[in-house]
Amino acid sequence: MSASLSARFVLRGRPPHHGPVPLAGVIMDASPNAADSADIAWRALTVARDHDWSLGPVVVSEASQRLTLEVDGRWHATAPLGDDQATCLDALLPLVGPAPSLVVAQLGQSLDGRIATETGHSHYINGLASRVHLHRLRALVDAVVVGAGTVAADDPALTVRHVSGRSPLRVVIDPRGRLDAGCRILRDACAPTLQLIGDQASIATPARGHLRRERLPLEAGGMAPRAILERLAQLGCRRVLIEGGSDTVSRFLDAGALHRLHLLVAPLLIGSGRPGLCLAPIARLDEARRPRSRRYTLGDETLFDLDLRPPT
Ligand SMILES: NC(=O)c1ccc[n+]([C@@H]2O[C@H](COP(=O)([O-])OP(=O)(O)OC[C@H]3O[C@@H](n4cnc5c(N)ncnc54)[C@H](OP(=O)(O)O)[C@@H]3O)[C@@H](O)[C@H]2O)c1
């Protein structure tokens, strides 16, 4: 445990806030019976997810601990927290703040920047700690977006299973309407699903039950990421996770539509296969993006949290 974490009163997060500290807050007792009851950090984040920050900070308390999440992104605890809990707060608190919208992407990749083999096999590049992190990301957002390639390759459920929390709206970008009606997200009603198809696509099977189908215009480069986000905002989705794959995340990044990117780097070398990001080519390194970044350890992997917002 680091020195700062063993202090009786721990201040972490973004630089100190110099404005008035709100006095009122929402106090919630952590339920001792909840699946993640030992994890007060995760409990606090799930409260923060739906919190009205104009009411003040989030305060979660249990027997010997009182954890406060401030509106400016700092947190403090009255007793030491474990490293895993501190990492969870540091990495995820920026996602649940008062900003009116938040778009975060993730990619789990090897040391040599691959997210799948040549055959599309990607289960699993990352270990359990990173997979838990991914499920936490899902639980904190209103919608999780994947490309048709990921659904065709992995047939994912896109639900929250490794942690407590609710599953977001599942969104698949399927411009040609090529997905098999039997794939899990189109078939299973365990979470609402939106299939975004192009204006020319034709699909015989009707959309019903948990499945909604909508058309978006296809421009020269495909569906505009910002048009996708606007539609999701109209549906009430304020926080959005772009989960993959490479093509989908790269399109959102190239369009300047991401606020953050979580790169989960696992210590393996795949040596061939699908690269994580494929962006518009640049000629010189001074044209490369150099986002502000923070690093965290998740098991034997490293999470790079890239802040893609323009500096203020
Ligand atoms: N390691 C990880 O974190 C991770 C995460 C997810 C997936 N994966 C792996 O990544 C691979 C799939 O990635 P991928 O890059 O091939 O595919 P993808 O990004 O999942 O899907 C790409 C496809 O989605 C559609 N699409 C996405 N955005 C679009 C847009 N803005 N406009 C128009 N169409 C759009 C297009 O469909 P059409 O092809 O029909 O035109 C496009 O070819 C799989 O092997 C999967 O296992 C890894």
102-307 is a CATH 3.40.430.10 domain: yes
| Burial of 115 (C-beta count, 10 Å sphere; 0-12/13-18/19+) | buried
Average pLDDT rounded to a whole number, residues 186-194 = 97
Q: For tokens 């970044």, what's the residue? A: 293
Span 191-238, pLDDT tens digits: 999 999 999 999 988 899 999 999 999 998 899 999 999 999 999 999
Strand segments, DSSP code E, in 63-187 are: 65-69, 75-77, 102-110, 114-116, 143-147, 169-173
At 221 the pLDDT is: 84
Q: Which atom of ligand 1 is nearest to the CA of 122?
A: 47
Q: For tokens 């150099």, what's the residue? A: 290
Letter for the amino acid at 225? P
At 312 the pLDDT is: 78
| Residue among 1, 161, 198 at smallest CA distance from 81 | 1
Distance (Å) of CA 61 to CA 78, 90, 227, 240, 247: 10, 19, 41, 29, 43
Domain limits of the chain? 3-94, 102-307
DSSP β-bridge partners for residue 222: 219
- pTM of whole model > 0.75? yes
Span 151-183, pLDDT tens digits: 999 999 999 999 999 999 999 999 999 999 999
Kindly list the protein residues whose Cβ atom lies closer than 6 A to any atom of ligand 1. Answer: 107-108, 115-116, 120, 122, 125, 146-150, 153-154, 173, 175-176, 178, 222-223, 225, 243-248, 251, 274
At 11 the pLDDT is: 38
> Which of 110, 114, 122 gets mutated to test ligand 1 (max ligand atoms within 8 A of its CB)?
122
Q: Which atom of ligand 1 is nearest to the CA of 107?
A: 3
Span 5-49, pLDDT tens digits: 232 233 344 333 322 223 233 333 333 333 454 599 999 999 999
Q: With contact defined as beta carbons under 8 Å apart, do 8 and 77 qualify?
A: no
